[in-house]
Structure 1
Amino acid sequence: MILDTAIETKDLLPALERFWKVSAQKIELINNEYDDSQGSPVFTIEGKYSTRGWTEWTQGFQYGSEILQFDATGDTSFLEMGKRNTVEKMAPHVTHFGVHDHGFNNVSTYGNLLRLMNEGRIPESEWERNFYVMALQASSAVQAKRWTSIPSGGYIYSFNGPHSLFADTIRSLRALAIGHQLGHSIMGEHDRKTSLLERLVQHAKATAEFAVYYGEGRDFYDVWGRTAHESIFNLNDGNYRCPNSQQGFSPFTTWTRGLAWIMVGAPEQLEFLKTVDDTELEPLGGRDTIEAMLLKMTTATCDFYIENTPTDGIPYWDTGALNSHKLGEDVYERESEPFNDAEPVDSSAAAIGAQGLLRLGRYLNEPRYTQAGLTVMKTLLSDKYLSRDKSHQGLILHSVYHRPNGWDHIPDGQSVPCGESCMWGDYHARETALYIQRLANDEPYYKFYL
Structure 2
Amino acid sequence: MKINNALTLQSVQPTLDRFFEVAAPKLLNLERSWDPAKGTPVFTVEGEYTTRGWTEWTQGFQFGCQLLQFDATGDEQFLELGTKNLLAKMAPHVSHFGVHDHGFNNISTYGNLRRLLLEGRVPADEHLLNFCELALKVSGAVQANRWTKLGDGCGYIYSFNGPHSLFSDTQRTLRILAVSHQLGHVLMGENDKAHSLLHRLIQHSDATLKYNVYYGEGRDSYDVPGRVVHESIFNVTDGNYRCPSTQQGYSPFSTWTRGLAWVELGCAEQLEFFATLSADAVAAYTDRSAFMQRLERAALATADFHLANSAADGIPVWDTGAPGVAALGAYQDAPSDPYNAREPYDSSAAAIAAQGFYRLGKYLETKGDAEQGKQYKQAALTLAQALFEEPYLSTDPSHQGLLLHSVYHRPNGWDHVPAGRTIPCGESSMWGDYHAMEFALLLKREAEGGTYLRFF
Q: 1-side partners of 2:334 and 2:194: how far apart? A: 54
User: How far did residue 212 of structure 1 move?
Assistant: 0.3
Q: 1-side partners of 2:354 and 2:24: how far apart? A: 22
Question: Is it true that 1:46 corresponds to 2:60 in the alignment?
Answer: no
Q: 2-side partners of 1:373 and 1:53: how far apart? A: 33
The runs of 4+ residues in structure 1 deviating greater than 6 Å are none
Q: Deviations over 1:89-111 (max 9, x none)?
A: 00000000000000000000000
Question: Is it true that 1:304 corresponds to 2:311 in the alignment?
Answer: no
Correspondence for 1:390:
397
Runs (5+) with no aligned partner, structure 1: none
User: How far did residue 190 of structure 1 move?
Assistant: 1.7
Correspondence for 2:325:
324
Q: Deviations over 1:28-49 (max 9, x none)?
A: 1101222221110000000000
Question: Is it true that 1:336 corresponds to 2:336 in the alignment?
Answer: yes
Q: 2-side partners of 1:427 and 1:332: how far apart? A: 26
Correspondence for 1:143:
143
User: How far did residue 283 of structure 1 move?
Assistant: 2.2
Q: 2-side partners of 1:151 and 1:7: how far apart? A: 48
SS, match of residue 283 in structure 2: helix
Correspondence for 2:418:
411
SS, match of residue 174 in structure 2: helix
Correspondence for 2:177:
176
Question: Is it true that 1:157 corresponds to 2:158 in the alignment?
Answer: yes
Q: Deviations over 1:76-124 (max 9, x none)?
A: 1000000000000000000000000000000000000001111111111
Q: Which moved more, 1:184-193 or 1:101-110?
A: 184-193
Q: Any conservation in 2 of the 1:213–1:222 contact (CA below 8 Å)?
A: yes
Identity of aligned residues (%): 58
Q: 1-side partners of 2:129 and 2:349: how far apart? A: 33
User: How far did residue 10 of structure 1 move?
Assistant: 1.3
Q: 2-side partners of 1:283 and 1:195: how far apart? A: 10
Q: Any conservation in 1 of the 2:279–2:289 contact (CA below 8 Å)?
A: no
Q: Any conservation in 2 of the 1:72–1:434 contact (CA below 8 Å)?
A: yes
Q: Any conservation in 2 of the 1:309–1:316 contact (CA below 8 Å)?
A: yes
User: How far did residue 275 of structure 1 move?
Assistant: 2.1
Correspondence for 2:103:
103
SS, match of residue 133 in structure 2: helix
Q: Deviations over 1:281-329 (max 9, x none)?
A: 112221111100100111100000000000011110000101211111x
SS, match of residue 284 in structure 2: helix
Equivalenced residues, count: 448
Q: Deviations over 1:169-212 (max 9, x none)?
A: 01111100000000000111121101000000000000000000
Question: Is it true that 1:368 corresponds to 2:375 in the alignment?
Answer: yes
Q: Which moved more, 1:269-278 or 1:335-344?
A: 269-278
User: How far did residue 427 of structure 1 move?
Assistant: 0.2
SS, match of residue 241 in structure 1: strand
Q: 1-side partners of 2:324 and 2:437: how far apart? A: 31
Q: 1-side partners of 2:57 and 2:423: how far apart? A: 25
TM-score, with structure 1 as normaliser: 0.99
SS, match of residue 242 in structure 1: strand
Correspondence for 1:210:
211
Q: 2-side partners of 1:289 and 1:162: how far apart? A: 28
Q: 1-side partners of 2:433 and 2:54: how far apart? A: 19
Question: What is the root-mean-square deviation in Å for CA atoms of aligned residues?
Answer: 0.7
2:279 partner letter: D
Q: Any conservation in 2 of the 1:42–1:53 contact (CA below 8 Å)?
A: no
Q: Any conservation in 1 of the 2:165–2:231 contact (CA below 8 Å)?
A: yes
1:427 partner letter: Y
Q: 2-side partners of 1:205 and 1:362: how far apart? A: 23
TM-score, with structure 2 as normaliser: 0.97
SS, match of residue 23 in structure 1: helix
